[in-house]
Amino acid sequence: MASFRQNAAASAPAKNMLWGGRFTGGLDPLMITYNASLRFDRVFYAQDIRGSIAWARANHHVGILTAAEFASIEQGLTQVSQEWASNTFAIQPDIDEDIHTANERRLGELIGKDVAGKLHTGRSRNDQVATDMRLWLRDRLDEIAAHLVELVKVVAGRAELEIEHVMPGYTHLQRAQPIRWSHWLLSYGFPFASDLERLREVRKRVNRCPLGCGALAGNPFGVDRDAIARELEFDGLMPNSLAAVADRDFVVETLQWASMLGLHLSRWAEDLIVYSSAEFGFVRLSDAYSTGSSLMPQKKNPDALELVRGKSGRLFGAMAGLMMSVKGIPSTYNKDLQESVEPMLDVITTVSDSIQIATGVLSTLSIQPENMMKSLTPDMLATDLSEYLVRKGVPFRETHHISGQVVALAEKEGIAMDSLSFDQLTGVDHRFEKDVMSVFDYQKSAETRAVRGGTSKSAVQEQIRSLKETLSN
């Protein structure tokens, strides 16, 4: 039965492709587009050329290339890199299906096909693309780590500068106990620091060299893989050639890491969105990270934070999508693995931008301590009232019940707890003494939480020191 698309097929000869010698028929034009990756993997041009020079040097050392041939290839590839950098590289769509074939095709035009044709000896696009991706990703992770360091520095800096201010702490989004604004900042600073620690661990597994593994079985010419790895500044080798060309764990793990960071950024953004609302008014966002309404002139929308929150879903989706793409493929290399490149590129851009936006938002927002203070209410000191009686020797389970009765009495009387008279308090329990009114002090409440990790000044200052230390590790 004739193919529905047979008239469209065979218009593009496969022989033009670097792999086309075995094929006599043509390619469906849609298949050319469907298969091609140059539109996105062109970002690897510098890494591809760097890896190719290292590969040519390795082939020179084992006698595949003469000194003159290696020099010609190195000079030609340097020129190709300059063309990409200056945006003068002329792509040939019918031939340049990916960055590897594009670079080799252009190299042949510059130095001649006979010498350029020796470059790929013993190498496959399978180990080549894995090398390119690892080199590119390693550099991007270093950049992201630097952005994350800056975010953590801003957290620590503001926490140190604004340690005096007390605000409500929340559980279930209900006012719970007084805490320091700095304590809230640090509650996200430490997860961000953990993200930085995890990122550094991910980088170690990214920075392993697959070059020299060939299509799947290894290299027959005795190239020195260790020397190649040293030249490309890898920390070590992928030790098994089958695993090396099949492995995209380094991309999956990066996307998993990005999803965790996205989770933290999203929750942080949500808090600030709430805190910037008129109902809270704890912070005011800079105009640089806000937008207005097309209809309501009074609006100042926290769009930067909403985008940070929204893009976290994009990160989760990329991770899940890639895991589904790779979970069922057989060993070793399969073209499904091409689907690892685009989500990697998108996630790296999204994460990098989100961290920088978060840093900008946090470094430029202004706090409104007076609104934080207005939001504190005496009932938030009910636990302190219970703890007061604990210090008088009353069992906590009993003090919790007594404090609850005081809360109920204040609600019944329609007044704040600190407006109850001493007689009313002793009417609830005779063990209250005249000093009980000292409980109703928000700063004092915060200062009593002096245990490590608490919200007292000393505890917060210790946390700031600890957070700063993570940046130097």
| Residue the block writes with tokens 């109850």 | 420
168-175 contacts: CB < 8 A, separation 24 or more?
Answer: 168/372, 168/375, 168/376, 168/380, 169/455, 173/274, 175/375, 175/376, 175/377, 175/380
| Residue the block writes with tokens 């002793």 | 426
Longest C-alpha distance within the chain, in Å?
102
Are the beta carbons of 443 and 418 closer than 8 angstroms? no
Are the beta carbons of 144 and 156 closer than 8 angstroms? no
**378, two tokens:** 């005496």
- Give the contacts of 361 (CB within 8 A, at least 6 positions apart): 272, 285, 286, 289, 304, 305, 308
Are the beta carbons of 16 and 94 closer than 8 angstroms? yes
Active-site annotation holder among 172, 366, 430, 472: 172
Q: Phi/psi of residue 205, each to 5°?
A: -80, -25
Active-site annotation holder among 277, 293, 331, 419: 293
**102, two tokens:** 């594009």
Are the beta carbons of 227 and 149 closer than 8 angstroms? no
Q: Respond yes or no: is residue 293 known to be catalytic.
A: yes
Are the beta carbons of 180 and 463 closer than 8 angstroms? no
d(CA 127, CA 305): 40
d(CA 50, CA 364): 40
Are the beta carbons of 251 and 335 closer than 8 angstroms? no
Residue 12, H or E segment = strand 12-13
d(CA 49, CA 400): 70
Are the beta carbons of 440 and 418 closer than 8 angstroms? yes
**80, two tokens:** 């190709």
Q: Respond yes or no: is residue 172 known to be catalytic.
A: yes
d(CA 236, CA 225): 9
Q: Coil, strand, or helix at residue 166?
A: strand
| Catalytically annotated residues | 172, 293
